[in-house]
Amino acid sequence: MANDSNQTISFLEMINHYGFECNNNEPSRITSTSSSCIDNILTSKNYGDKDFYNFDPALSDHNALMISLPNKSFVDNVTVNIHRRVYNDKNMLSFLSGLTSDLQDFVRYDSV
């Protein structure tokens, strides 16, 4: 990630908690006045050696990201964790309330 802001640290802690890692630490949106690492590719921490590419194809205001992953047969001890949340009337209001709060925070800090 591009900086050590609270939002960046929180994001990295969250993906680490669920067993993932962020493979991009270079800015993917670069303007004349700023650069932001706002596009990410997440993989399992134990996925093996990866080759990551961040390049400007001159098609957008964002760079293109590409990752080359090893063949799964070469990766040792890959564990897949699937986390699911069951939504029902009882917990939907709580979920929507938390989502609304998170979105408001995200809009205030739009350059993580």
Mean pLDDT in residue range 43-67: 83
Q: String of b and e for 40-56 (b: at least 16 CB within 10 Å)?
A: bbebbeebeeeeeebee
pLDDT tens digits, one per residue of 56-112 = 887 888 888 888 887 766 555 667 777 777 778 778 888 778 777 766 666 655 554
The domain segmentation of the chain, as residue ranges, is 6-84
Torsion of CA 13, 81, 64, 72, to 10 degrees: 130
Distance between CA atoms of residues 90 and 97, nearest Å: 13
- pLDDT at position 2 is 52
